[in-house]
């Protein structure tokens, strides 16, 4: 009938095939019969009815004939890309990485061995007089495995993931390599010749070119995917389109393996694009590809059955003449199984060694899972199509036998191997649950019973549902009716059962890590972490799960390398790249580290709480929770270091997270309004579009970290900012900025001093072979320190190693520039020596000075120390409770011991053990010291130093809890809130001398760039500075004539400048409110200069008030801890009240 040959009949066959597939899947669920095997049998039945009854199926038969006569290449092009992409995309990347060596062994050498064995067996035992090339061609196409039924069964039974990954990964690679081997022998059969070099070249180009092409398509499509925002349809369509385009480009345009191309593409997506799909998009993508794979498998297996029936019945005369072909088919099935045994047996030592390993039971399943499928059948149809055409190389009978043998092997392996795999798993005991999982299941059922009883109690009190028939309700909940055993906690095992205890620990670690991974997915959907960060975090959990049986939780180990700065960052810092570019990459790395650490701590906190809620306070759970807590120490320290050194980085990260969270919450709110009927769909879409626009803007133009300007950082550094403006500007032009990662050495002990380092942000740690560190608990120097200055001034090698202990932003000034600065003015030289004494005192006497903050050291040096210069021949004496440091020159003790700088001078009866200097060669005690050469010495009163530290600590506000700081950074300046509220809590700041370089440096050390000197005529605190007395006695006859000792710092003036204080940071610039000036009041005599300075300060305040930062009501975001934000409205600082 002419109507039966219409193309529309092909659609009828598709519909009928899907109905048969649905029925098979529905009826066979829970049975041992594989779904694909049933489809193959149904296909054979349909083909037999059509080809055995001469068009007995009518229009359906016409559709069957259309599909049966389809071009085999088209068959592969239609079904194979979807199946390959779905299989590779659904695999776990970590499992692939661990099992890659095993998969390559089975798909590479394994295919080669199988091809040779099958080809030799066919050549030597079959009576068809085929050539070696033809026999190897059949062996090659029969080497392509298709264990769809086995993989589905393994996943359903919950068998080990590694076994499923090996079998499925081998199948993916096997298809590619088998097709490559088939193409090689196919061309040889058709008359082309290859030598060994040509074969190697062909295999390399086809395989390596396919991998490269798959990577290229993956990179381009994922980049494109990054520009698609919350459009599930486009995202899914892109994955479908790119799989087919990649396959077509590989097969037809570049003539490389399309199978390997799509497999590489799918694995690349699994590695880098899974986190690009969030929430509903991920579920939609998963369901879409499951549906595509289901439809493709249904059609391809029914069609395979039709083709097998067609090959047998259409060539019935051939098989009647060669009745032995059925026997050789069975013999070929035996050969296929033997070759599989040989392949696994030969490769077993290596399979056992690589990846997760392989035991004998798993090896037996691997042998039995060598099913053949649609790929082998399609290749055999290609051979038949070629043999039916006019060519001298292949006879039509050869093509017929290829289809017969291949179809028979597909049928036999799928029916016998596929249907008996579950039985084999049961015989080997691989379908049983572990004792730990059984105990958890029992425990969970009792927990379910408790929840059910709680629900019953609550629902009985419900006005609407209370009258229900509760006896009938209980009858329907049959899953909880057979709990006849006593409730038992899964971890209640005897102390002598160490094996069970270890298994419980392993099981709970895996469950906690599963909870951590689930928390990462939740944070990704909430916008707390980026896609790149999520990939890193997920990978760390996967790697840790492999090690839980032999060690404690270790997912943090996989994150360390992503938090710490790698070695190539040091190369970037030494390179000639622009500093801004290097700073950009460094800040990006710092942001990534903060994301990782914050997400790690939050995920573990969530997982610990869930584990405790589920299992209670058992010993095993407590052990795992303690392991989780211990793992977070380094992450907490990293965030604390960043909070102290680079708070703007954490502030920007929290800002992004809060913005994303608020926008997504609003989106969910309006969607709920639409679901409840309060908003119409058009209204909801209108509002949601506006929110999506904001989310897209946040994603593409997020808030970025704005690093302070170099000039601002330098001007607020105590050394540079205290210098006169003319000198400072010259120095700024010769300063080199650098950003150094943690663990970078700035200079080494004994090396020639090339310059000084100004630490602007961060902390450094010193180590020395000569200096004593026995009593140094935290040998660190914080921001505001000047490193290497003493060595530059004295011209000697560096006395210690200086290594960064956090991310450090610092500036380098060459020795020549410091020498020019030193000789420019005597007062500047004095200031430089005082600055060098700050660091030197902490290096020589850490037991006394390292507990003091840098601002306390500056108070000590600027106001409570004496620096004298002595000429040759003078004698000096160090009084009790005093400490002297020889900065330059030479001294001699009474026993003629020569003292070279730097040296510590103590009174003759000092107890060195109190200083931790019992065996130091730079510490000296003597009644008198004689000057051998011009010497510069600075003296400290030890009592004053201790009193200063106590006084400064007492000046901190008592009503507020101190900020949490790590022990290493406890000496850093933490600005008390009350500094901006009242004048009374300024403490030592109120005793500052506004004039003088050291006093200016002290102000900058405490308040950074917020110090603004106002009118000297304004009244301030009138408090006399305490003075200490350190006497240096000279025994020369003409003391005043020969002594060149410098005087102390000038005494404090009667009138003090009022300090105007603003908080540090570009978003918190604000000048303290000034006392109102009555313009009508007459100016007092001699106050003209004070009025001029006051007008300048008021103009400066107006300039700040007109800036963007001061517009409107300012909201300050304060990051007090890595996981908490506090908001408060900023208020103007009230003007100081006159006392």
* Three-state secondary structure readout of 992-1048: CCCCCHHHHHHHHHHHHHHCEECCCCCCCCCCCCCCCCCCCCCCCCCHHHHCCCCCC
**Cβ neighbour number for residue 982 with a 10 Å cutoff:** 13
Mean pLDDT of 109-118: 90
Residue 779 CA to residue 785 CA, distance in Å, equals 13
Which of 606, 624, 645 terminates a domain? The answer is 645
Question: Sign of torsion, CA 1011 1014 1019 1023?
Answer: positive
User: DSSP letter string over 751-786?
Assistant: SPP-EEEEEEES-EEEE-SSS--TT-S--EE-TT-E
Q: Other C-beta atoms within 10 Å of 480: how many?
A: 14
Which whole number is the average pLDDT over 1091-1097? Answer: 47
| Whether 448 and 423 share a structural domain | no
CA angle 658, 662, 663 (to 5 degrees): 120
- 411 and 523 fall within a common domain: no
Q: Which of 569-573, 781-785, 937-941 has the lowest mean pLDDT?
A: 569-573
Regarding predicted confidence, which is higher, 426 or 754?
754
Residue pointed to by tokens 């083709």: 307
End residue of a domain, out of 616, 645, 674: 645
Rounded-to-integer distance, Cα 999 and Cα 1007, Å: 12
- pLDDT tens-digit map of 241-264: 999 999 999 888 888 888 889 989
- Residues 611 and 621: beta-carbon distance below 8 Å: yes
Residues 352 and 458 both lie in one domain: no
Q: What is the mean pLDDT of the chain?
A: 76
Domain count, the chain: 3
Judge if 465 and 373 occupy the same domain: no
**Which residues, other chains included, contact 1112 with Cβ-Cβ below 8 Å and sequence gap of 6+?**
none
Same domain, 121 and 215: yes
- Upper half-sphere CA count for residue 940 (Cβ side, 13 Å): 28
Residues 43-76: tens digit of each pLDDT: 888 888 887 776 677 788 888 888 877 777 787 7
- C-alpha to C-alpha distance for 281 and 231, rounded to whole angstroms: 8
What is the per-residue DSSP string for 517-542? Answer: HHHHHHHHHHTSS-HHHHHHHHHHHH
DSSP state of 439: H
Q: Is-contact 843 787, C-beta < 8 A? A: no
Tokens encoding 908:
């003759």
SS3 941: strand
User: Is the CB of residue 684 less than 8 Å from the CB of residue 670?
Assistant: yes
> What separation in angstroms does the CA of 415 have from each of 142, 411, 421?
16, 6, 10
Q: When comparing pLDDT for 865 and 994, which is higher?
A: 865
Q: Is the peptide bond before 902 cis (omega within 30 degrees of 0)?
A: yes
- Confirm whether 541 is domain-assigned: yes
Q: Please tell me whether residues 377 and 457 are part of one structural domain.
A: no
Whether 550 shows a pLDDT value over 60: the answer reads: yes
What's the longest Cα–Cα distance across the chain?
A: 139
CA gap 1072, 685 in Å, rounded = 48
What CA–CA distance (Å, rounded) separates 926 from 1035?
A: 16
Q: Provide the pLDDT for residue 149.
A: 58
Q: Are 231 and 356 in a shared domain?
A: yes
Could you tell me which residue, 35 or 544, shows the higher pLDDT?
A: 544
In a shared domain, residues 545 and 631: yes
In a 13 Å sphere around the CA of 137, the CA atoms on its Cβ side amount to 25
Please check whether residues 460 and 526 belong to one and the same domain.
no
Could you read off the pLDDT of 1034-1078 as tens digits, one per residue? 333 333 333 444 333 333 333 333 333 333 333 333 333 334 434
Cβ contact 135:119 at 8 Å: yes
Q: Give me the mean pLDDT over the 354-371 stretch.
A: 85
pLDDT of residue 405: 87
Cβ 779 vs Cβ 767: under 8 Å: yes
- Round to whole Å and give the CA distance between 664 and 607: 24
Partner residues linked to 891 by β-bridges: 899, 931
957 pLDDT higher than 60: no
Rounded to an integer, what is the distance from CA 674 to the centroid of its chain? Answer: 38
Most confident of 464-468, 846-850, 897-901: 897-901
Contact assessment for residue 589 and residue 565, using Cβ atoms and an 8 Å cutoff: yes
Q: Which residue has the higher pLDDT, 938 or 988?
A: 938
Say if residue 568 is exposed, middle or buried (CB neighbours under 10 Å; 0-12, 13-18, 19+).
exposed
Tens digits of residue pLDDT in 183-201: 888 888 887 777 778 878 8
Contact partners, residue 3, CB within 8 Å, separation at least 6 = 59
Under the phi-then-psi rule, with left for phi > 0, alpha for psi from -120 to 50, and beta for the rest, what region is 878?
beta
Q: Does residue 132 lie within any of the structural domains?
A: yes
Maximum mean pLDDT: which of 32-36, 394-398, 532-536: 532-536
**Per-residue tokens: 290:** 């499951």
Beta strands in 815-928 (DSSP E): 865-870, 875-876, 882-892, 898-899, 903-906, 923-925
Q: Do 537 and 399 share a domain, yes or no?
A: no
Summarize the confidence of residues 804-829 as an average pLDDT. 88
Contact in structure between 1127 and 1114 (CB atoms under 8 Å) = no
Q: Are strands 923-925 and 903-906 parallel, antiparallel or unpaired?
A: parallel
- In angstroms, the CA 964 to CA 962 distance is 6
Assess whether pLDDT exceeds 80 at residue 775: no
The mean pLDDT of 758-787, rounded to a whole number, is 77
Q: What is the CA radius of gyration of the chain?
A: 41
Tokens representing residue 245 in the block: 């385009």
The sign one gets for the Cα dihedral 323, 325, 329, 334 is positive
Structure tokens at 46: 């349909």
| Boundaries of domain holding 467 | 435-480
Give the pLDDT score at 1055: 39
Q: What is the pLDDT of residues 285-303, one digit of tens each?
A: 888 888 888 888 888 888 8
Query: For residue 396, what pLDDT band results from cuts at 50, 70 and 90?
Result: confident
Residue 180 lies in a domain: yes
Q: Which of the given ranges, 211-220, 731-740, 773-782, has the highest pLDDT on average? A: 211-220
122 within some domain: yes
Check whether 943 has a pLDDT greater than 60.
yes
Q: CB count, 10 Å around CB of 1063?
A: 18
User: In angstroms, rounded to a whole number, what is the distance separating the alpha carbons of residues 165 and 99?
Assistant: 7
Q: How far apart are CA 119 and CA 109, in angstroms?
A: 15
Choose between 761 and 954: higher pLDDT. Answer: 761
**Which helix H or strand E contains 933, and what residues bound it?**
strand 929-941
Q: CA 13, 14, 18 angle in degrees (round to 5)?
A: 115
Q: Quick check: 130 pLDDT over 60?
A: yes
Which pLDDT belongs to residue 891?
A: 92
Q: Which residues fall within 8 angstroms of residue 1053, CB to CB, at 6 or more apart? A: 993, 995
End-to-end Cα separation, the chain, in angstroms = 114
| 780 located within any domain | no
- 461 class by beta-carbon count within 10 Å (0-12 exposed, 13-18 middle, 19+ buried): exposed
Report which of residues 581 and 698 the model is more confident about.
Answer: 698
Among 591, 610, 645, the domain boundary falls at 645
Same domain, 111 and 258: yes
Does residue 659 lie within any of the structural domains? no
Taking residues 925-929, what's their average pLDDT? 87
Residues 574 and 631 in one domain: yes
pLDDT score recorded for residue 455: 83
Residue 1110 has pLDDT above 60, yes or no: no
CB 382 within 8 A of CB 73: yes
- Please give the share of the chain, as a percent, with pLDDT higher than 70: 77
d(CA 1097, CA 198): 84
pLDDT in tens, 411-464: 888 888 888 887 888 888 877 777 888 888 888 888 888 888 888 888 888 778
- Give the pLDDT score at 1129: 40
The region of weakest confidence among 94-98, 577-581, 786-790, 1013-1017 is: 1013-1017
Closest C-alpha to 356, from 130, 169, 107, 552: 169
Evaluate if residue 757 carries a pLDDT over 80. yes
At 945 the pLDDT is 66
d(CA 810, CA 830): 24
| Complete edge-to-edge strand list for the sheet that includes strand 764-767 | 745-747, 801-804, 764-767, 780-781
**Residue 1099 forms part of a structural domain:** no
Partnered with residue 925 across adjacent β-strands are 906
Please report, for the domain that includes residue 271, its CATH number.
Answer: 1.20.1530.20
d(CA 258, CA 606) in angstroms, rounded, equals 44
Strand partners, 808: 740
Among 236, 172, 237, residue whose Cα is nearest residue 210:
172
Alpha carbon 824 to its chain's center: 51
**Residues, the chain:** 1139
Q: What is the mean pLDDT of residues 679-686?
A: 89
Report the candidate in 213, 218, 229 with the shortest Cα–Cα distance to residue 276: 229
Count helices and strands in the chain by DSSP H and E runs = 42, 19
d(Cα 99, Cα 171) in Å, to the nearest integer? 13
Q: What is the pLDDT of residue 31?
A: 73
Strand-pair category, 808-814 with 735-740: antiparallel
Residue 442 lies in a domain: yes
């Amino acid at each position: 009938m002419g109507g039966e040959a219409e193309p529309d009949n092909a659609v009828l066959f598709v519909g009928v095939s899907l109905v048969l597939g649905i029925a098979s899947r529905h009826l066979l669920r829970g049975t041992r019969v594989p779904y694909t095997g049933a489809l193959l049998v149904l296909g054979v039945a349909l083909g037999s009815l059509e080809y055995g009854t001469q068009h007995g199926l009518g229009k359906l038969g016409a559709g069957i004939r259309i599909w049966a006569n389809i071009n085999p290449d088209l068959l592969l092009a239609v079904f194979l890309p979807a199946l390959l992409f779905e299989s590779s995309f659904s695999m776990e990347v970590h499992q692939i990485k661990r099992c890659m060596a095993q998969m390559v062994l089975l798909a590479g050498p394994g295919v080669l061995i199988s091809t040779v064995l099958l080809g030799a067996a066919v050549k030597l035992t079959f009576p068809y007089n085929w050539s070696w090339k033809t026999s190897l061609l059949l062996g090659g196409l029969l080497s392509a495995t298709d264990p769809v039924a086995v993989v589905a069964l393994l996943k359903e039974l919950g068998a080990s993931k590694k076994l499923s990954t090996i079998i499925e990964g081998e199948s993916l690679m096997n298809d590619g390599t088998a097709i490559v081997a088939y193409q090689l022998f196919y061309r040889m059969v058709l008359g082309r010749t290859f030598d060994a070099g040509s074969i190697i070249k062909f295999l390399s180009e086809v395989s390596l070119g396919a991998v490269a092409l798959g990577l290229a398509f993956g990179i381009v499509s994922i980049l494109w995917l990054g520009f698609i925002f919350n459009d599930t349809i486009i995202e899914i369509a892109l994955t479908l389109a790119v799989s087919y385009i990649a396959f077509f480009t590989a097969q037809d345009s570049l003539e490389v393996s399309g199978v390997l191309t799509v497999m590489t593409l799918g694995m690349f997506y699994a590695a880098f694009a899974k986190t690009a799909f969030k929430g509903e998009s991920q579920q939609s993508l998963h369901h879409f590809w499951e549906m595509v794979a289901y439809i493709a498998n249904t059609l391809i297996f029914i069609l395979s059955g039709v083709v097998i029936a067609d090959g047998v019945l259409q060539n019935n005369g051939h098989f009647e003449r060669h009745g032995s072909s059925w026997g050789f088919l069975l013999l070929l099935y035996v050969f296929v199984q033997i070759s599989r045994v040989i392949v696994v047996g030969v490769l077993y030592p290596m399979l056992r060694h690589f990846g997760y390993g392989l035991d004998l039971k798993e090896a037996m399943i691997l042998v039995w899972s060598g099913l053949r499928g649609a790929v082998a059948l399609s290749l055999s149809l290609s051979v038949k199509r070629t043999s039916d055409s006019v060519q001298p190389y292949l006879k039509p009978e050869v093509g017929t036998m290829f289809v017969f043998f291949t179809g028979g092997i597909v049928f036999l392996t799928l029916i016998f191997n596929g249907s008996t795999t579950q039985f084999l798993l049961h015989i080997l005991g691989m379908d049983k649950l572990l004792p730990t999982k059984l105990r958890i299941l029992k425990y969970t059922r009792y927990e379910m019973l408790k929840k059910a009883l709680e629900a019953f109690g609550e629902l009985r009190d419900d006005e609407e549902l209370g009258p229900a028939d509760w006896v009938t309700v209980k009858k329907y909940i049959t899953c909880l009716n057979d709990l006849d055993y006593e409730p038992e906690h899964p971890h209640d095992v005897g102390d002598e059962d160490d094996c069970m205890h270890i298994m419980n620990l392993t099981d709970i670690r895996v469950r906690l890590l599963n909870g951590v991974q689930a928390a990462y997915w939740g944070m990704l959907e909430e916008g707390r972490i980026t896609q790149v960060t999520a990939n890193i975090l997920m990978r760390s959990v996967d790697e840790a799960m492999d090690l839980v049986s032999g060690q404690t939780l270790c997912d943090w180990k996989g994150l360390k390398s992503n938090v710490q700065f790698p070695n190539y960052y040091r190369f970037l810092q030494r390179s000639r790249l622009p500093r801004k570019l290097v700073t950009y990459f460094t800040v990006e790395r710092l942001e990534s580290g903060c994301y990782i650490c914050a997400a790690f701590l939050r995920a573990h906190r969530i997982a610990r709480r869930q584990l405790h809620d589920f299992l209670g306070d058992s010993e095993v759970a407590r052990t795992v929770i303690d392991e989780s807590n211990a793992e977070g120490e380094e992450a907490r320290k990293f965030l604390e270091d960043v909070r102290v050194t680079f708070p703007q980085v954490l502030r920007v990260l929290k800002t992004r997270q809060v913005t994303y969270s608020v926008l997504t919450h609003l989106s969910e709110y309006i969607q709920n309004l639409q679901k409840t009927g309060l908003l119409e769909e058009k209204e909801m879409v209108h509002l949601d579009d506006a929110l999506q626009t904001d989310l897209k803007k946040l994603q593409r133009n997020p808030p970025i970290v704005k690093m302070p300007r170099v000039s601002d950082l330098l001007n607020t550094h105590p050394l540079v900012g205290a210098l006169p403006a003319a000198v400072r500007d010259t120095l700024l032009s010769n300063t080199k900025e650098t950003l150094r990662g943690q663990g970078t050495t700035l200079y080494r002990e004994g090396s020639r001093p090339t310059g000084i380092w100004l630490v602007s942000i961060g902390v450094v740690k010193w180590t020395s072979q000569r200096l004593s560190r026995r009593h140094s608990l935290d040998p660190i120097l914080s921001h505001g320190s000047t490193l290497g200055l003493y060595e530059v001034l004295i011209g000697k090698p560096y006395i210690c190693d200086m290594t960064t202990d956090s991310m450090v932003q610092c500036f380098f000034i060459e020795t020549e520039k410091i020498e020019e600065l030193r000789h420019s003015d005597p007062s500047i030289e004095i200031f430089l020596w005082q600055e060098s004494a700050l660091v030197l005192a902490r290096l020589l006497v850490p037991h006394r000075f390292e507990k003091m903050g840098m601002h306390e050291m500056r108070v000590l040096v600027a106001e409570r120390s004496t620096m004298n210069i002595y000429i040759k021949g003078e004698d000096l004496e160090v009084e009790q409770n005093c400490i002297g440091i020889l900065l330059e020159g030479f001294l001699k003790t009474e026993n003629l011991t020569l003292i070279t700088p730097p040296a510590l001078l103590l009174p003759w009866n000092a107890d060195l053990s109190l200083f931790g200097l019992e065996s130091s060669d730079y510490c000296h005690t003597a009644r008198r010291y004689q000057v051998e050469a011009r010497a510069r010495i600075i003296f400290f009163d030890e009592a004053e130093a201790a009193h200063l530290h106590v006084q400064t600590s007492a000046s901190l506000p008592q009503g507020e809890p101190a900020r949490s700081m790590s022990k290493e950074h406890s000496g850093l300046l933490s600005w008390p809130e009350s500094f901006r509220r009242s004048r009374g809590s300024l403490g030592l700041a109120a005793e500052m001398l506004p004039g003088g370089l050291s006093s200016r440096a002290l102000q900058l050390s405490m308040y950074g760039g917020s110090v603004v000197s106002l009118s000297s005529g304004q009244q301030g605190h009138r408090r006399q500075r305490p003075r200490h007395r350190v006497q240096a006695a000279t025994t020369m006859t003409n003391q005043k004539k020969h002594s060149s000792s410098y005087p102390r710092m000038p005494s404090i003036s009667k009138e003090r400048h009022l300090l105007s204080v603003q908080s540090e940071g570009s978003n918190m610039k604000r000048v303290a409110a000034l006392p109102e000036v009555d313009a009508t009041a007459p100016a007092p005599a001699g106050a003209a200069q004070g009025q001029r300075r006051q007008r300048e300060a008021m103009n400066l305040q107006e300039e700040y008030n007109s800036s963007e930062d001061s517009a409107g009501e300012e909201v300050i975001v304060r990051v007090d801890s890595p996981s908490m934000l506090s908001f408060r409205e900023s208020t103007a600082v009230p003007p100081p009240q006159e006392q």
